[in-house]
Amino acid sequence: MNEKVGFVVLHYMALDATANCVKSIVETQRGENFCIIVVNNGDERTEELEKLCHGASDDVVIINSKINNGFARGMNIGYCEAKYRQRCEFIVLLNNDTLMVQNDFSAQMIAEYQKKAYAAAGPKMLMPDGRTDSKSNPLRKDGLGLRLAFFKYMMTVAKYLTAFSDLDLKLLRWERRVDRATRRALTKDAGACPDGPNLTRLDNCVLHGCCIILSPQYVRRYDGLNPKTFLYVEEQILFVRILANSWTTAYLKNLSIIHVGDVATSMTVHSNREKRRFKYRHHFHSYQVLIIELLKDKWKRRCDRRDPGARQSPKDGLPGSE
């Protein structure tokens, strides 16, 4: 395997979680052509972070930011380091609350790309006890359409305004029932079910943001994720971008990682009510960004139908162009 893989780990607050994540990458990827970039997203304990990360490997690149850039912009800092300075063909964006457990992770993801090109891919999520986390990957079999995105936006506004009296909990339970019903309807075909026993790959689904694999197809074109959000909904926005390019996302069930979940948020926000309002506030802005991207894509598709020759498909990144 000659392709270089860059692992970008976004750190905020949880020092031990970041150290464990870096250590798991070093231990499982020995012998592979890879590098690790840790983006310190506003944590002032830079010396302690460097000591913990370099304890796992002296080759870890640490980039310190004085401010918390949020998820997308923070990841983009490490992404550009991996793309331009480290010359990585594949870039894996990792939350610091994840653990690598598979020795052939890099080899498998590259082999899958060579069999059938994808722009972005995601692995199966395991809980710390080893069980499959069915709520994690893929997030959805399809993306949020414009109507559903607007519904989510309005629900987020309602939940934020009613969180002061905990009435948002009733809305939250109702919304989760709707989401579960929608998920079952979309995956009732056994071939489209992420937990299907014969499934090894599921194309064109929304991937979980805690581990996003970006292939050469994507890396050549973009300098990271859409930087307009602070937290949440990045996966949906990425999905819209990929489909707009007539590319593919892939859920790869033969890849596995452990996802602990919500470590940084739990350390930042303490009370349950405060934590909910924190999430609602950032979801509110992110859904605005998603709706704008959906409207832009809808307009482009309408223009393409009127004048098919006006918009040329990009040559770089298409299967067979490498």
pLDDT of residue 322: 39
Q: What is the mean pLDDT of the chain?
A: 87
Residue 176 is predicted with a pLDDT of 80
At 315, is the pLDDT very low, low, confident or very high (cuts 50, 70, 90)? very low
So what's the pLDDT on residue 85? 97
pLDDT at 139: 66
Which amino acid belongs to residue 44? E
Q: Model pTM?
A: 0.88
Place of tokens 């948002």: 168
> What share of the chain in percent tops pLDDT 70?
84
* The predicted structure's pLDDT at residue 135: 65
> Hey, what are 16's tokens?
């031990």
pLDDT computed for residue 316 by the predictor:
47
What tens digit of pLDDT does each residue of 215-267 get? 999 999 999 999 999 999 999 999 999 999 999 999 999 999 999 876 655 55
Q: What is the CATH number of domain 5-141+189-267?
A: 3.90.550.10
Q: What is residue 22's predicted lDDT score, i.e. its pLDDT?
A: 98
At residue 196, the pLDDT reads: 59
For residue 147, pLDDT beyond 60:
yes
Q: Which residues contact 72 (CB under 8 A, 6 or more apart)?
A: 224, 225, 226, 227, 228, 229, 230, 234
pLDDT of 142 higher than 70: no
pLDDT band for position 273 (50/70/90)? confident
Task: Note the pLDDT tens digit of each residue in 292-306.
Answer: 999 999 988 888 877
Helix residue ranges, H only, the chain: 15-28, 46-56, 70-80, 105-115, 146-162, 168-186, 216-219, 234-244, 263-268, 272-306
Residue 148: pLDDT band (50, 70, 90) is confident
- Is 242 strand, coil or helix? helix
Q: How buried is residue 142: exposed, middle or buried, by Cβ count under 10 Å (0-12/13-18/19+)? A: middle
Q: Give residue-wise pLDDT tens across range 173-194.
A: 888 887 776 656 555 543 445 5
Do 152 and 279 form a contact (C-beta atoms < 8 A)? no
Each residue's pLDDT tens digit, 196-222: 556 789 999 999 999 999 999 999 999
Positive or negative torsion for Cα 20, 21, 24, 30? negative
pLDDT score at 239: 96
- The gap between the terminal CA atoms of the chain, to the nearest Å, is 16
